[in-house]
Amino acid sequence: MSDFHYQNGELFAEQCSLNAIADALGTPCYVYSKAAFTRAYQDYANALGNHPGMVCYAVKANSNIAVLQVLAKLGAGFDIVSSGELRRVLKAGGQPNRIIFSGVGKTREEMREALEVGIACFNVESEAELERLADVAAELGVVASISLRVNPDVDAKTHPYISTGLKENKFGIDIQRAPAVYARASELASLKVVGVDCHIGSQLTELTPFLDALDRLLQLVDTLAETGITIEHLDIGGGLGVTYRDEVPPAVADYLTQIKAKLGDRKLAIIMEPGRSIAANAGVMLTEVEFLKPTEHKNFAIIDGAMNDNIRPALYQAWQDVKPLSQREGETQQWDLVGPVCETGDFLAKDRALALQAGDRLALMSSGAYGFVMSSNYNTRGRAAEVLVDGDKYFVVRERESFEDLIRGEHLLP
Ligand code: LLP
């Protein structure tokens, strides 16, 4: 049974009524299921099995510290991209030696902080970053473990904004150039080469691009071995895509079986950085219909959630399902769900068949990944509350922002 399901016509998260949560906390509001996070993480951990390696949850997908705490308790590693994410992971009880640091623009200060706590590995994305990291580590008198993120030039066949493994993308080091950069890295006393990394994009629903990238990475590992550079781990980047509508992503177990088969007898640990596939279907966003505005051309339902709460539909034309919190009898009509923000792009869903009345509450499904974390204060709207459900209990894991929160740090002229 899904962790979000109907009981007597009312939508529940595990054993908690979403209407009861909305009554207590208002809308818009994000609600997560601990059981769903747990199961999705364990899918990866079980698929890795006894093979050496780590499942490093991509913190960017949903960085609430309670979510990170749930995953840390399960033994997850973490993929971070900023010192902010590093501090969240440590606050949530994550172990430094299970953290890897990705991202194209690490500052000296971020490198220093990560070296001081002793993270497992830096995924280095350029030659300039390699020199900077060597310098910072030397200053501290420590050795930084590194992977180079190589750009294998494969087409991930996903939305162009979330495709990252093509030559024209800003990410990684051209795979042709990688042997020379590895040679340079191995000369630097403050660096230790441990891995090869790649991440070709997000929301991939086919295995072929991942496996093509892996073939290219393994060729590189073999080339490096010939020059005396031993690679200990392969970091295969983000996880699989998810079902938002009717996509059928491959099973994690199949993915891992195919990867392990390709490794042959090479002794390589496997690191993965899944975000979306752990978080997306573990969360929903609750919203309420403020007004119905049928016009000659279209029916608009004006809701209290907006593009500042979830920018995915506006930014990527993303489709997320919409479900009523209370099922209603009656004829459906086609509705566009639009928010109060002053932009035509402010919609969360278009052309949905719903039987709606003002005051109805709706759940925007599959909102657990890249939802709250991408929200903003545009139009001076406070960010939503976040709630984590565990069985028949729920916990407010982030309070709704108040006006005072919004202007904190702003000053009037004297
Ligand atoms: N590792 C790296 C280096 C990444 O850049 C990403 C995602 C991941 C791992 C996690 O990938 P996942 O398992 O989630 O596919 N905001 C967009 C998605 C941006 C993904 C950015 N990088 C969205 O809402 O669709």
Ligand 1 lined by 202 (C-beta under 6 Å): yes
Q: Which amino acid is at 135?
A: D
Question: Does 391 carry a binding-site annotation?
Answer: no
Domain ranges of the chain: 4-32+280-407, 34-276
pLDDT, position 67: 99
Which pLDDT tens digit goes with each residue over 208-258?
999 999 999 999 999 999 999 999 999 999 999 999 999 999 999 999 999
CA 143, CA 268: separation in Å to the nearest integer?
21
The reported pTM is 0.97
CA 128, CA 181: separation in Å to the nearest integer?
10
Give the number of the atom of ligand 1 that is nearest the alpha carbon of residue 123: 3
CA 378, CA 343: separation in Å to the nearest integer?
11
Instruction: Please state the rounded mean pLDDT for residues 340-367.
Output: 97
Ligand 1 lined by 61 (C-beta under 6 Å): yes
- For 345-392, list the strands marked E by DSSP: 347-354, 361-364, 385-390
Mutate to test the pocket of ligand 1, among 106, 122, 202 (most ligand atoms within 8 A of CB): 202
pLDDT, position 162: 66
- What dihedral do alpha carbons 400, 36, 19, 321 form, nearest 10°? 90
Contact 335, 356 (CB under 8 A): yes
Between the CA of 57 and the centroid of ligand 1 the distance, in Å, is 10
pLDDT, position 1: 52
Catalytic residue among 16, 121, 198, 342: 342
| Burial class, 320, CB count within 10 angstroms (exposed 0-12 / middle 13-18 / buried 19+) | buried
Mutate to test the pocket of ligand 1, among 43, 60, 81, 170 (most ligand atoms within 8 A of CB): 60
CA 299, CA 339: separation in Å to the nearest integer?
13
pLDDT, position 32: 98
CATH topology for 34-276? TIM Barrel (3.20.20)
Contact 56, 100 (CB under 8 A): yes
CATH topology for 4-32+280-407? Lyase, Ornithine Decarboxylase; Chain A, domain 1 (2.40.37)
Return mean pLDDT, the chain: 96
Please tell me the residue having the least CA distance from ligand 1 atom 9. Answer: 238
Sign of CA dihedral 38, 96, 60, 379: positive
Q: Verify whether residue 121 is a known catalytic residue.
A: no
Please work out, in degrees rounded to the nearest 5, the angle formed at the alpha carbon of residue 328 by the alpha carbons of 325 and 331. 135
DSSP 358: T
**pLDDT reading at 168 higher than 80:** no
Please name which of 133, 105, 272, 123 lies closest in space to residue 191, comparing C-alpha atoms: 133
Confidence of residue 396 (pLDDT cuts 50, 70, 90): very high
Q: Which amino acid is at 302?
A: I
Confidence of residue 158 (pLDDT cuts 50, 70, 90): confident
- Count other Cβ atoms within 10 Å, centred on residue 288: 18
Between the CA of 336 and the centroid of ligand 1 the distance, in Å, is 28
Ligand 1 lined by 383 (C-beta under 6 Å): no
pLDDT, position 170: 80
21 in helix, strand or coil?
Answer: helix
How big is the chain, counted in residues?
414
Ligand 1 lined by 34 (C-beta under 6 Å): no
Which pLDDT tens digit goes with each residue over 250-291?
999 999 999 999 999 999 999 999 999 999 999 999 999 999
